[in-house]
């Protein structure tokens, strides 16, 4: 499980999680990594292995959600020839492959109760039994598991074995979501942007326009670092002029004026103009209305943000921008002059 990524960040919450992983790495005990999608759970698992005494041994990964329930146990523990239909020859499981090394179980919360029971025995006694065999095999495996589920809650509901959770939670490392990592969005965006610029052969890195940097900082990032990387790399490769700062990024790649529209039941089948997720987010009223103490200034600031965003989206083609905003060319020129946008172009 080699990753072409690095730990990039400077926020205290992020650095604390990385430090905890570094301290836990030399231990032989299991570690549970918890975090939302895209927060870097795989990278933490790799760090735990590379900084351990097992660094020269295999690091084997298995995504528990990627396999049907009927195959998970065979993948984990292996099987003998003839153990089930289609098992034409013996096969070792992930536990035996990871012997002396580390086994990373991603999406742990999706394991069936049967697989959990067998996993509990493997963790507690260091033995696995292939399906179709009665002879256990001794293995020396360090378990690192990851999940975005609330496992204690699942255990309370009887959907996850509490005794297995006890065995796997010697150390629990919870990764902070990107939206609370103060100052890290800009650092990560610069890193991903520079790397993408080099990949497509740009002679230098122009950076981001001020309004784009503001949008990146204020996006909620439900997909965390993985989403940020996609947004930045998409914005760089779509930008034609490497000599000018990136003036537009697309947060929702599915947003399009031509995307399919499914009419609601009982409504007219005539296609309606689809909503723009990006535009809707841009046109939202301020969430903290109590903080608005100058209506005129607030309205002008919002107007500037809308016009600046539209100009960046249309690469400062003022006629296209005016058409997109429903303005005349002269009206748009007036807005640009009023907000001083010509100076920041």
Residues 6+ apart with CB under 8 A from 189: 208, 213, 216, 228, 232
Structure tokens at 15: 């650095």
- pLDDT value for 43: 95
Q: What is the mean pLDDT of residues 34-58?
A: 96
Burial label for 258, CB within 10 Å (0-12, 13-18, 19+), is exposed
Whether 130 has a pLDDT exceeding 60, the answer reads yes
Q: Decide: pTM greater than 0.85.
A: no
- pLDDT value for 319: 82
Proportion of the chain above pLDDT 90, given as a percent: 59
CATH top class, domain 180-258+291-344: mainly alpha
Q: Would the CA dihedral through 47, 52, 57, 63 be positive or negative?
A: negative
> Is residue 145 within a helix (H) or strand (E), and if so which, with residue range?
strand 142-147
Whether 281 has a pLDDT exceeding 80, the answer reads no
- pLDDT value for 291: 62
For residue 179, give the DSSP letter.
G
Which whole-number Å values give the CA distances from 203 to 8, 190, 230, 294, in the listed order?
A: 24, 16, 22, 45
Query: Where in the chain are the domains?
Result: 12-176, 180-258+291-344
Whether 188 has a pLDDT exceeding 60, the answer reads yes
Cα 193 from Cα 289, distance rounded (Å):
34
- pLDDT value for 269: 43
pLDDT band at 13 (very low <50, low <70, confident <90, very high): very high
The residues with which 76 forms a beta bridge, in sequence order, are none
Output the CATH code of domain 12-176. 3.40.50.300
| Residues recorded for the chain | 345
- pLDDT value for 166: 96
**pLDDT tens digits, 78-122:** 888 877 777 778 888 999 999 999 999 999 999 989 889 989 989
Residues 6+ apart with CB under 8 A from 192: 228, 229, 232, 233
Q: What is the mean pLDDT of residues 162-172?
A: 96
Q: Which one of 47-56, 60-69, 268-277, 333-342 scores highest in mean pLDDT?
A: 47-56
């Amino acid at each position: 499980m080699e990753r072409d990524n690095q730990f990039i960040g400077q926020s205290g919450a992020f650095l604390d999680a990385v430090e905890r992983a570094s301290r836990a790495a030399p231990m032989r005990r299991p570690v549970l990594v918890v975090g939302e999608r895209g927060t870097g759970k795989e990278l933490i698992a790799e760090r735990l292995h590379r900084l351990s005494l097992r660094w020269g041994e295999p690091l084997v990964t298995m995504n528990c959600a990627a396999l049907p329930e009927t195959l998970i146990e065979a993948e984990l523990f292996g099987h003998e020839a003839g153990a089930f239909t289609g098992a034409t020859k013996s096969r070792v499981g992930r536990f035996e492959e990871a012997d002396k090394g580390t086994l990373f179980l991603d999406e742990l919360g999706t394991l069936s109760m049967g697989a959990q029971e067998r996993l509990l025995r493997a963790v507690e006694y260091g033995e696995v039994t292939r399906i179709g065999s009665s002879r256990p095999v001794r293995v020396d495996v360090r378990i690192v598991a990851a999940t975005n589920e609330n496992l204690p809650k699942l255990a309370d509901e009887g959907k996850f074995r509490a005794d297995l959770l006890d065995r796997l939670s010697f150390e629990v490392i919870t990764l902070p979501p990107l939206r609370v990592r103060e100052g890290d969005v800009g650092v990560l965006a610069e890193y991903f942007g520079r790397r993408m610029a080099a990949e497509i052969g740009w002679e230098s890195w122009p950076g981001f326009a001020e309004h784009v940097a503001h949008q990146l900082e204020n996006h909620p990032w439900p997909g965390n670092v993985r989403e940020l990387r996609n947004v930045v790399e998409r914005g760089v490769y779509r930008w034609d002029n490497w000599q000018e700062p990136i003036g537009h990024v697309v947060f929702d790649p599915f947003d399009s004026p031509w995307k399919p529209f499914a009419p609601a039941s009982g409504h007219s089948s005539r296609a309606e103009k689809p909503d723009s997720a990006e535009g809707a987010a841009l046109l939202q009223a301020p969430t903290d209305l109590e903080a608005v103490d100058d209506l005129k200034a607030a309205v002008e600031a919002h107007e500037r943000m809308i016009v600046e965003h539209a100009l960046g989206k249309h690469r400062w083609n003022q006629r296209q921008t005016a058409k997109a905003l429903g303005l005349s060319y002269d009206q748009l020129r007036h807005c640009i002059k009023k907000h001083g946008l010509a100076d920041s172009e």
